[in-house]
Amino acid sequence: MLTAQASPTTLRWRGPFLATSKQRRLTVNPSTLQPGRRHVIRAVISSGDSKAGVETADKAVESNGALVSSSRSGGVNVRAVIRIRKKMKEKLFDKIEDQWDSFLNGIGKGISLQLISQEPHLGKSDETFVRGWLPRISDNPYVVEYGADMVVPNDFGQPGAVVVTNFHEKEVFLMEIVVHGFKEPIFFKADTWIHSKKDNPESRIVFKNQAYLPSETPPGLKNHRQEELHRVRGDGKGERKMHERIYDYDVYNDLGNPDKYEDLARPVVGGEERPYPRRCRTGRRPSLTDPDTESRIEKPDPAYVPRDETFEEVKQNTFSAGRLKAVLHNLIPLIVSKLASSDIPFTNFSDIDNLYNDDILLPKEAKNNHLLANLLDQVLNVGDNLLKYEIPAIIRRDRFSWLRDNEFARQTLAGVNPVNIELLKELPISSKLDPETYGPPESAITRELIARELNGISVEEAMKSKKLFIIDYHDLLLPFIEKMNELPDRKAYASRTAFYFDQGILRPIVIELSLPPTSSSPRNKKIYTHGHGATSSWMWKLAKAHVCSNDAGVHQLVNHWLRTHACTEPYIIATHRQLSTMHPVYKLLHPHMRYTMEINALARQSLINGGGVIEACFSPGKYALEMSSAAYKSLWRFDREALPTDLLHRGMAVEDPTMPGGIKLVIEDYPYAADGLLIWAAIQELVESYVEHYYSEPNSISSDVELQAWWNEIKNVGHYGKRNELWWPNLNTQDDLSSILTTMIWTASGQHAAINFGQYPFGGYVPNRPTLMRKLIPQPGDSEYEKFLQNPEYTFLTSLPTQLQATKVMAVQDSLSTHSPDEEYLHQLDQIHRLSSNDPQVHKYFENFSVQLEEIERIINLRNKNVELTNRTGAGVPPYELLLPTSPPGVTGRGIPNSISI
């Protein structure tokens, strides 16, 4: 055993750890240490490619041998235990690299720690290198443990933070540091990548697991709190490097690629003309041909996001990131190479059925790509280079359900996009668009047309009893229709669809399809009803297909991408820039920010970019993000992202304080809303308790400088295009903060789950939900009309996406609908917050929340067995499970993750 130096703080290493070990020093706060008792500091560090799967259980280390005695009167012995994660890769070079890292840690050359006292006059401890292997092997085969003994003085004070420096050549992942031997353990939960000192000479600061409002920060930590916030903001200059943790804003100027092809140029989205939420700044150089456009990265790796926001891929082929990358960068190019030369439309329904019954022979390259091969084997049912899709849930029980009007209507309440139907509040229906450009504002859906479909009751009576509803995409789409229809094999209308609710059943009654006015047709609107003849029935099917195509585009580009993914990114950036990791609001929001920036960066690279999957396979084509920007400009309001407010605004509910969320549904059998209000109410109760706990003092919210800076930055920078709107909530009271936080958490969890994980179950069967249409509906006198009369099935099928387009969309939808094995769900918040907070009262709030979610799941399961709720049950009707809190991995059509992670 080595002897200790006579110094205020002494670290002593036991002989069994490493024969060549040298003495190092590590200081801790001895003021609360108890002489004669064991004091353990445990730093859990992971290096390599992933942190996922590493357990952070607090393991006792007393079995490793007795501690040495004090080296000085009043000094106390402490033990540090370090856990470092090895790489999972099997390459020889990686094994050698891991062994070298272990050696460096063993001789005290790898990771250094320095404690920071909460008392301002004491400052930092001496720097200490961790080293020495523990005799006990870690329970995790990919984790190596290290340990050290130390002696600390009695006058250091309470430790409040740790400075960590990484002297390795590569980054390491720090999980946590634990100090044992006090009245209770002191935890420093980190879960962060520590960059190499060669990449950045600045060390990292990790604060202990205790929430402090800015005004309550211990004096010794105040400067460090500000310093850490300053570091993550950066200076808005230069190109970001992948190891950095800089959170900054930029506009969407990275979607086009004019340097590659002129046709791939795209306008900047996020300026005054086309407002949009801000995205994470990467700082890449401008393109050569357009100084306003950022240059593109043409490789599988996504654009820069702060290091801790990236996916962690322990088993890359089953994780969300690896899976989606494999689809976008490997599978889809293979599909294109296989089908592009003979990209043909579906000509009969057997062609569609063959996607699920037959196999697609993929090139040999598929098996040569290890990641893709594993993806195909485990997810897409591949044997010997063969690809076959799973039968989507919507036709698994009833292959003809998509043909029926009641199913078309049911999906507006219980499908993947149940958020656009609204009460028809007034007639005549009128457009807000400029009549000089877009023609007469009055809709062709007249009172007389509606009256014919009401089975004898008057229109006034139907409206008074809240039985008429509408999905109106006219004003959003009409300004883009002319440009969209000029694209090859792309034809669309601006649509309005009226519904009638009677005897518990919702059914479509009138569809209006509009084109921009022309000199010969200033009122270019067509009306379709169900009809009873063969021709009118087929026309009706084509009209519904066009409505579904519009619905698919609005769903993907507005309700899914814009309202959840894009609008949430500024919340995440502002949270990191303005709220310390010690801030209680940061701790509350952190689980709901996981992976979102990474999936957004991947989407900008390969999904919503110029020439990407969304442009290639959805109606708006190259105008997709312009249309999304138009929706943001005219429709998006933060205050209406709250579920109860949204339902009230759409007329789908009325106020009722006795009901969950304070409202009563106009249509009781509205599965999305009914289940969503249960989730909303549970989140709201949790948040209100949490806010009241931390902001019990008068004016504590208005005087919280970090919180006010956070909200101001979200409004004025993150959502710059909406900065002058008067509807932004104030942030002065507990109710204000609770409402804001509940809305953010709901958006990232329940709302995203409801509109994301049903994409393949509903959209995987092309006729049910085509993402584009390739033909206008034939009219008498058209050259296609006679062909339509001779073979209406052929006209219908050749109007749908081609086989290549459908196959590409199905591959992406399948991936986006998949839960990864490392997913963290809403019901697990209790476990997650236990690791980051030491407040027993807060633990009780989250325990109660988990119990509530268990009850909600039971209620939803009972609802799905209630024969009176025909939107949930019946012959061939799939149960509504998108808002069930729990889910196993895979495409399940259920489960609420904490965050927008795919």
E strands of 703-842, at which residues?
A: 818-819
Residue carrying the six token digits 């990484």: 166
Residue 176 CB contacts under 8 Å (≥ 6 apart), including other chains:
42, 43, 44, 56, 187, 188, 189, 190, 191, 835
Residue carrying the six token digits 């609008």: 567
Taking the mean position of all CA atoms in its chain, how far away is CA 434? 36
Distance of CA 839 to CAs 187, 833, 834, Å?
Answer: 12, 10, 9
Both tokens of residue 467? 């039985």
Q: Within 10 A of 696 (CB to CB), how many other CB atoms are there?
A: 9
Could you tell me which of 239, 312, 277 has the C-alpha nearest to residue 714?
Answer: 277
Q: Cα(762)–Cα(395) distance, rounded to whole angstroms?
A: 9
Tell me the residue type at 80.
A
Q: Within 10 A of 445 (CB to CB), how many other CB atoms are there?
A: 24
Both tokens of residue 621? 């084509």
Catalytic option among 417, 420, 756, 871: 756
Q: Cα(609)–Cα(603) distance, rounded to whole angstroms?
A: 7
For β-strands 76-85 and 40-47, DSSP reports them as parallel
**Is 752 known to be catalytic?**
yes
Helix, strand or coil, per DSSP, at residue 29: coil
Could you tell me which of 193, 314, 294, 290 has the C-alpha nearest to residue 251?
Answer: 294
234 conformational bin, left if phi > 0, alpha if psi -120 to 50, beta if neither: left
Could you tell me which of 541, 534, 539 has the C-alpha nearest to residue 349?
Answer: 541
Q: Within 10 A of 814 (CB to CB), how many other CB atoms are there?
A: 23
Element at 528 (helix H, strand E): strand 525-528
**Is 609 known to be catalytic?**
no
Residue 571 CB contacts under 8 Å (≥ 6 apart), including other chains:
589, 593, 714, 718, 744
Residue 486 CB contacts under 8 Å (≥ 6 apart), including other chains:
none
Catalytic option among 39, 555, 565, 592: 565
Residue 324 CB contacts under 8 Å (≥ 6 apart), including other chains:
599, 602, 815, 816, 902
Helix, strand or coil, per DSSP, at residue 368: helix
Catalytic option among 39, 752, 819, 827: 752
Residue carrying the six token digits 């090139």: 363
**Is 560 known to be catalytic?**
yes
Distance of CA 692 to CAs 396, 585, 688, 695, Å?
Answer: 48, 12, 6, 5
Catalytic option among 180, 560, 592, 819: 560
**Is 590 known to be catalytic?**
no
Q: Cα(424)–Cα(429) distance, rounded to whole angstroms?
A: 9
**Is 39 known to be catalytic?**
no
Both tokens of residue 648? 């009230």
Bridge partner list, 361: 386
Q: Cα(772)–Cα(491) distance, rounded to whole angstroms?
A: 8
Both tokens of residue 403? 């043909």
Could you tell me which of 191, 168, 170 has the C-alpha nearest to residue 45?
Answer: 191
Catalytic option among 45, 116, 395, 902: 902
Residue 354 CB contacts under 8 Å (≥ 6 apart), including other chains:
none
Give the phi and the psi of residue 483 in degrees, each rounded to 5. -70, -40
Q: Cα(103)–Cα(83) distance, rounded to whole angstroms?
A: 14
Q: Cα(425)–Cα(206) distance, rounded to whole angstroms?
A: 55
- Would you name the residues annotated as active-site residues? 560, 565, 752, 756, 902
